[in-house]
């Protein structure tokens, strides 16, 4: 995309939201690589001047936003367009397609975002997935309950981070789960008559997460994380990630192969992928595969080659630099996403200094704001913060994370909602 007399310095457009955890990491990576960054930010035009936003976009209208990006890039050429999280993955694919830049086809991006489309394509390509049913979100829950087997998992099709994902063991639990999932969909701003609820069989086993890069459809595994805490419901709040995995080599290979086949089935060919899988005696099952990198601040623990961060590898690949063969540095690392124990107002956090002094702990980041409302899953969409650790073995790392978490105390007071008095 470089014209005559244009500078040869690489330029990348990052699509971000104002509240994204990932913006800082990508910006820092770009600075280290001497890559110029243009930001496309999900804010209304009316706030663009107040917030000093060069390219305001409406991520909820991806076709219109892609056209705006195309017009913008006419004057300021870019080498790649990257969505830092799920919110703009479809928009990034639409824009790169219009501009003939490397990236995933919009249909593949949609399949990696919409869980129902994903399930259909995976099943069609014989990739192991749970038995599933899709229902209109406003359908009668009692009728739905007679068409599924138990235990099952109820989930929205377009949300991430386990929001609205609930296990049901019988008809009564199912009806309650559907109502809560509907509430999450509604609170996210989607009309129920336009939404879909996915119901799938609960798959027993343990969970892992795979972080990788796709290059022309070839999968390079960057890290395989064990999730040592059981995720059996009723909600599915992820807590601890530890790598390297303690699974046998043949199981790790099967997980990577299952992920590769899943990406191929969806049509994903370029850039980062983050896959969530369950593993049992029947092998690995794909729960989700997203065309993005790991969320939150979890990438902080990953370091590759001569000190590259994960975001640097993503930017390097996107701008045409060779990253194949760069491996994660030796040693075990892990992160705990600190769960929200109860809803309310976060008033204080104690024990941080003691937790930081636990051997192996490398840092603690409290991201929840004091004196603000916090909401646990399945309605919530964030964590209290993150604990990071490293050690000689995955077991050492896991224990350090648990010991540090045990020293933290969170003071949460009930949230009082005042209602206007009727006149």
Q: Rounded to 10 degrees, what is the CA torsion of 16, 26, 366, 245?
A: 110
Output the pLDDT for position 423.
42
Q: Which of 51, 59, 78, 74 is CA-nearest to residue 17?
A: 59
- Position 218 confidence tier, pLDDT thresholds 50, 70, 90: very high
Given a contact cutoff of 8 angstroms between Cβ atoms, the answer to whether 312 and 29 are in contact is: yes
How confident is the model over 120-171, as pLDDT tens digits?
999 999 999 999 999 999 999 999 999 999 999 999 999 888 999 999 999 9
Q: Where residue 7 falls among pLDDT bands split at 50, 70, 90? A: low
The pLDDT value recorded for residue 313 is 97
Q: What is the pLDDT of residues 354-393, one digit of tens each?
A: 999 999 999 999 999 999 999 999 999 889 999 999 999 9
Buried b (16+ CB within 10 A) or exposed e, 165-191: bbbbeeeebbbebbebbbebbeeeebe
- The tens digit of pLDDT for each residue in 339-357 reads 999 999 999 999 999 999 9
Q: What is the DSSP letter of 29?
A: H
CB 396 within 8 A of CB 360: yes
pLDDT value at residue 48: 67
Distance CA 171, CA 167 (A): 11
| pLDDT higher than threshold 60 for residue 22 | yes
Report how far residue 234's alpha carbon sits from residue 236's, in angstroms, rounded to the nearest whole number.
7
Q: Can you give the pLDDT at residue 161?
A: 83
| pTM check: above 0.95 | no
Average pLDDT over the chain reads: 93
pLDDT, tens digit (0-9, with 9 covering 90-100), for 166-200: 999 999 999 999 999 999 999 988 899 999 999 99
- Token pair of 186 as six digits: 């509604």
Nearest Cα to Cα of residue 368 among 403, 340, 389: 340
Residue 4 pLDDT grade (very low, low, confident, very high; cuts 50, 70, 90): very low
Complete domains list, the chain, with CATH: 11-111 (3.40.50.20), 131-201 (3.30.1490.20), 331-417 (3.90.1170.50)
Distance CA 196, CA 182 (A): 9
* DSSP H helices in 159-268: 171-187, 249-266
What local confidence, expressed as pLDDT, does residue 38 receive? Answer: 95
Report the share of the chain in percent with pLDDT over 90: 85
pLDDT of res. 286:
97
**232-280 pLDDT per residue, tens:** 999 998 899 999 999 999 999 999 999 999 999 999 999 999 999 999 9
Helix (H/G/I), strand (E/B), else coil: 376: coil
- CA distances in angstroms from 186 to 193, 195, 267, 330, listed in the order given: 10, 9, 30, 45
CA neighbor of 409 nearest in space, from 337, 343, 363, 353 = 353
Residue that has been written with the tokens 């993503």 in this structure: 314
Which helix (H) or strand (E) segment holds residue 62: the answer is: helix 62-75
């Amino acid at each position: 995309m470089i014209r005559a007399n244009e500078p040869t310095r690489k330029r990348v457009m990052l699509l971000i939201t104002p509240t994204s955890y990932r913006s800082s990491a990508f910006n820092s990576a770009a600075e280290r690589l001497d890559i110029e960054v243009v930001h496309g930010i999900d804010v209304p035009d009316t706030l663009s001047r107040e917030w000093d936003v060069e390219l305001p976009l409406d991520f909820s209208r991806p076709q219109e936003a892609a056209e705006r990006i195309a017009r913008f890039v006419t004057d300021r050429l870019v080498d790649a367009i990257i969505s830092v999280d799920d919110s703009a993955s479809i928009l990034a694919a639409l824009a790169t397609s219009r501009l003939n830049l490397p990236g995933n086809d919009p249909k593949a991006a949609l399949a990696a975002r919409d869980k129902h489309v994903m399930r259909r394509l995976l099943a069609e390509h014989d990739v192991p997935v749970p038995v599933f049913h899709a229902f209109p979100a406003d359908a009668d829950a009692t009728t739905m309950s007679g068409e599924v087997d138990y235990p099952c998992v109820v989930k929205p099709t377009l949300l991430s981070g386990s929001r609205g994902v609930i296990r049901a063991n019988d008809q009564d639990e199912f009806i309650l789960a559907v109502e809560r999932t509907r509430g999450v969909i509604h609170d996210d701003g989607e009309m129920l008559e336009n939404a879909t609820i996915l119901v799938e069989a609960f798959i027993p086993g343990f969970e892992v997460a795979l972080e990788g890069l796709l290059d022309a459809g070839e999968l390079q595994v960057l890290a395989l994380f064990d999730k040592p805490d059981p995720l059996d419901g009723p909600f599915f709040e992820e807590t601890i990630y530890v790598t390297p995995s303690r699974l046998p080599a043949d199981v790790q290979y099967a997980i990577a192969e299952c992920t590769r086949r899943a990406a191929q089935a969806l049509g994903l060919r370029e850039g980062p992928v983050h896959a969530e899988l369950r593993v049992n005696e029947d092998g690995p099952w794909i729960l989700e595969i997203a065309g993005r990198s790991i969320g939150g601040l979890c990438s902080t623990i990953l370091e590759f080659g001569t000190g590259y961060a994960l975001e640097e590898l993503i930017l390097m690949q996107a701008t045409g630099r060779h990253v194949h063969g760069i491996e994660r540095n030796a040693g075990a690392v892990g992160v705990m996403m600190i769960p929200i124990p109860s809803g309310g107002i976060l008033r204080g956090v104690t024990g941080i200094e003691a937790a930081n002094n636990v051997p192996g702990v490398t840092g603690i980041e409290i991201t929840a704001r004091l004196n603000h409302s916090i909401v646990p899953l399945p309605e919530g969409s964030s964590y209290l913060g993150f604990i990071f650790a490293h050690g000689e073995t995955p077991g050492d790392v896991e224990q350090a994370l648990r010991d540090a978490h045990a020293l933290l105390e969170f003071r949460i007071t009930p949230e009082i909602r005042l209602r206007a008095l009727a006149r």
